[in-house]
Every structure is written in C-alpha cells, then in structure tokens.
C-alpha cells in the first residue's frame, strides 16, 4: 500500500509542505501557518500577555479607544468576515459595537479548530449576533462568505499584523485576491505592526522566559506527533533575527549538531548541518508609506488610520475601489 493512502487530506498537504520546505536548496523552511495547532494556539495566547510583546495590547487599545469612530465610519448594516479570528478576544468589542446598531452575521475563518472553538465561545453571548465559523483557508472561506452576503456590504477583518507573515510580493498578491472577492464599497480593516528599534523587536520575538522558543519548537513537536517525525527537540534552538533591509523579524530553528532526522509520513529523512537553520516565520514591520503603497497595489483606498504611539502599530480602514 502507498503511504499516502493512509493519510488524511490534511496530513497529505502537511506532509507535502514539510517535504518541500525541508528539501529546498539553500535555506530550509516550514510554513508559519503550521505553528497553530492546539498547543501552538495556546502558546501564542501566552505570547500576547508577555510584557515584551506589545503588538496585541497596542491593537486592543486602538480597537477599544476608537471603536465608536470605526463603527461610525461603517455607516450601513454589514456582514463581517474575519481572516484568522484566533481566540476572538481582540474582535469582541468591535462586534459588540456593530451589533448594538444592527443585527450582524459574523463569519470567523480559521484553519485551527481549537482557535475557532475558542472564538465562538468568546463572542457567543453578544446580543443580535449570528455566528458561523468556517474551518478553511482564508480565501476559500472569504469566497463562501462573499457568496452569502445577502446584499449587505462586507467588512473583512485581518487583524494582528498577520499580513506581516507574507513577504511583500505575496502580501500584495494576497490582498489583490481578497479585493477580487469583494465589491466596490466593501471594507477591509487591516492591522499592521510598524517599524521600531531592533532591540525592542528582538525582545518581542525572543522573550526571556522562553514562551516564543516553545511556540517555535512546537512546530517540530507537531511534526513528530502528526507525521511520525523523529526530531529530538533538545537538538534544536529558537533563534530570532532582525533583517534591517527587509524590515522583518525572522524566527528560525537552529540545529545544534550535524544530524539526520526521519519523518515517516512524509516519506523522508533530512540532514541538518551543525548551525543550519529552518526558517519558520517572518514578521514584516511597516512604515505608513509601505501601507499606503500596499493599498494602492491591491485596489483599495485608505479611508482612515489609527496609530498607537506606546507600541507603534497602525489599524487601517480600507475601502474597495
Ligand atoms: C500572530 C502572526 C502576528 O508575527 O507577530 C508571535 C506571531 N510569532 N511571536 C507575529 C508570532 C512570534 C505573530 N502573528
């Protein structure tokens, strides 16, 4: 029997992505979306509480301080779709403000079933909300929501600077695809972390109690659990780097010695040299000019922007042209 016959559809694509990333010539890599299994989603929630990781609190402050103004600019009854809802905590206030005005359908789109379940629990008691969670990739989920919008304008939420995980050409391409699913006049509320000094960023992605290290290493743990991998996690180390030219923080996992690791369900074994890394995530940081350029490149007009000054972060309200 061929191995793939025993794998679920999810395992097949996870195995294919692992295989492609770890056999890449030059820099090995793994897609950051696989960081968010049940363990990874919970570790990410702990990261958001760390004093060094100011990003989530900055966005919370913006959404709390300006929710009345944001809602006032969205002047009609809406259907809301959220790309990557996570635990739903950051969205709750905004949904409450919308639902007080009009009954609102909320579609969280989330590939992590654990996060989706948490999100539904978090917003379930809001008056006049109707919730339909979609366990899909972002664009598949958004296409479904767009098809069932019932004549109302769409508000797409893409918060937390998740856009920063795409490199700039992929980000522009992704936003163009989002735009392609929308109609003129639909909205996108986009969270973007802004450039700040390298030491601040490095501390945010390499915290002193090791939560981010655990979050990163869990990716190898997940490969062990779900693909019968044989990684010894004590042979790898979390590394955070700042690339000033690209203005991004990178997370890597560095092999402490030369070693060969088998991954049974990906039908492979891979050699790591001593000091070689697997690149697991990029988090791009933006200038206000970068954000305007992204809007123009992808067919949106920037309607408003709110910036947190304590931890530079911008919430952008874009309108589809
Ligand atoms: C949830 C993708 C925005 O890139 O800052 C946190 C994930 N990685 N610490 C980010 C993350 C390391 C986070 N995003």
Q: What is the pLDDT of residues 79-128, one digit of tens each?
A: 999 999 888 889 999 999 999 999 999 999 998 888 899 999 999 999 99
| Dist. CA 156 → ligand 1 center (Å) | 20
Token representation of residue 74 = 């969205």
| Dist. CA 184 → ligand 1 center (Å) | 31
pLDDT for the residue 114 = 85
Give the span between the Cα atoms of 17 and 30, in whole angstroms.
7
Nearest CA to ligand 1 atom 5: 283
State yes or no: pLDDT of 66 exceeds 90: yes
Contact 108, 131 (CB under 8 A): yes
Looking at per-residue pLDDT, the higher value among 6 and 216 belongs to 216
Contact 183, 227 (CB under 8 A): no
State yes or no: pLDDT of 281 exceeds 60: yes
The total of other beta-carbon atoms located within 10 Å of residue 73's CB is 14
| Dist. CA 283 → ligand 1 center (Å) | 7
Looking at per-residue pLDDT, the higher value among 176 and 148 belongs to 176
Distances (CA, A) of 126 to 41, 171, 261: 23, 33, 48
Q: What is the pLDDT of residues 157-204, one digit of tens each?
A: 999 999 999 999 999 999 999 999 999 999 999 999 999 999 999 999
Nearest CA to ligand 1 atom 2: 162
Contact 81, 105 (CB under 8 A): no
State yes or no: pLDDT of 78 exceeds 80: yes
Atom of ligand 1 nearest to the CA of 282: 4
Report percent pLDDT > 70 for the chain: 98
Nearest CA to ligand 1 atom 14: 162
Comparing CA positions, the residue from 218, 228, 235, 236 lying closest to residue 262 is: 228
Atom of ligand 1 nearest to the CA of 48: 6
Give the mean model confidence (pLDDT) for residues 138-162. 96
pLDDT for the residue 87 = 86
Contact 63, 315 (CB under 8 A): yes
**Using 50, 70 and 90 to split pLDDT, how confident is the model at 2?**
very low
Nearest CA to ligand 1 atom 10: 283
Collapsing DSSP states into helix, strand and coil, what is residue 202?
helix
pLDDT for the residue 3 = 55
| Dist. CA 19 → ligand 1 center (Å) | 24
Pocket lined around ligand 1, Cβ cut-off 6 Å: 47, 55, 160-162, 164-165, 205, 212, 281, 283
| Dist. CA 4 → ligand 1 center (Å) | 32
Ligand 1 test: best mutation among 202, 281, 312, 315, most atoms within 8 Å of CB?
281
State yes or no: pLDDT of 1 exceeds 60: no
Token representation of residue 180 = 């392609």
Token representation of residue 145 = 């929501």
Name the E strands within the chain: 28-29, 79-83, 104-109, 129-131, 154-158, 187-193, 236-243, 248-255, 259-263, 268-272, 277-284, 300-308, 313-320
State yes or no: pLDDT of 255 exceeds 60: yes
Atom of ligand 1 nearest to the CA of 44: 6
Nearest CA to ligand 1 atom 11: 44
Contact 193, 285 (CB under 8 A): yes
| Dist. CA 284 → ligand 1 center (Å) | 10
State yes or no: pLDDT of 130 exceeds 70: yes
Report percent pLDDT > 90 for the chain: 92
| Dist. CA 10 → ligand 1 center (Å) | 23
Q: What is the mean pLDDT of the chain?
A: 96
Q: Whole-model pTM?
A: 0.95
| Dist. CA 59 → ligand 1 center (Å) | 13
Collapsing DSSP states into helix, strand and coil, what is residue 95?
helix
pLDDT for the residue 26 = 96
């Amino acid at each position: 029997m061929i191995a793939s016959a025993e794998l679920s559809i999810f395992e097949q694509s996870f195995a294919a992505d692992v295989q492609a990333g770890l056999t890449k010539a030059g820099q090995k890599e793994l897609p950051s979306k696989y960081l968010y299994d049940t363990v990874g989603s919970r570790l990410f929630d702990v990261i958001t509480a760390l004093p060094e990781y100011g990003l989530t609190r900055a966005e919370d402050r913006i959404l709390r301080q300006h929710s009345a103004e944001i809602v006032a600019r969205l002047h009609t009854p809406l259907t809301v779709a959220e790309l990557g809802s996570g635990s739903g905590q950051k969205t709750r206030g905004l949904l409450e403000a919308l639902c007080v005005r009009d009954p609102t359908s909320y579609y969280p789109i989330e590939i992590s079933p654990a996060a989706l379940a948490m999100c539904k629990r978090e917003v379930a008691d809001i008056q006049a909300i109707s919730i339909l969670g979609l366990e899909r990739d972002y664009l598949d989920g958004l296409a479904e929501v767009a098809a069932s919008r019932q004549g109302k304008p769409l508000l797409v939420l893409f918060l937390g600077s998740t856009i920063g995980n795409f490199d700039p050409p992929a980000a522009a391409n992704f936003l163009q695809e989002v735009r392609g699913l929308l109609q003129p006049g639909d909205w996108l509320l986009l969270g973007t972390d802004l450039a700040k000094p390298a030491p601040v960023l490095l501390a945010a992605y390499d915290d002193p109690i090791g939560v981010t290290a655990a979050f990163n290493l869990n990716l190898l743990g997940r490969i062990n659990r779900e693909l019968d991998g044989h990684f010894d996690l004590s042979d790898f180390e979390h590394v955070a780097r700042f690339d000033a030219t690209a203005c991004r923080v990178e997370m890597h996992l560095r092999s402490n010695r030369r070693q060969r690791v088998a991954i049974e369900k990906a039908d492979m074994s891979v050699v790591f040299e001593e000091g070689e890394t697997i690149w697991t995530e990029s988090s791009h940081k933006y200038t206000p000019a970068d954000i305007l350029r992204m809007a123009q490149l992808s067919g949106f007009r920037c309607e408003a922007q709110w910036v947190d000054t304590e931890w530079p972060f911008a919430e952008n309200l874009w309108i589809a042209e």
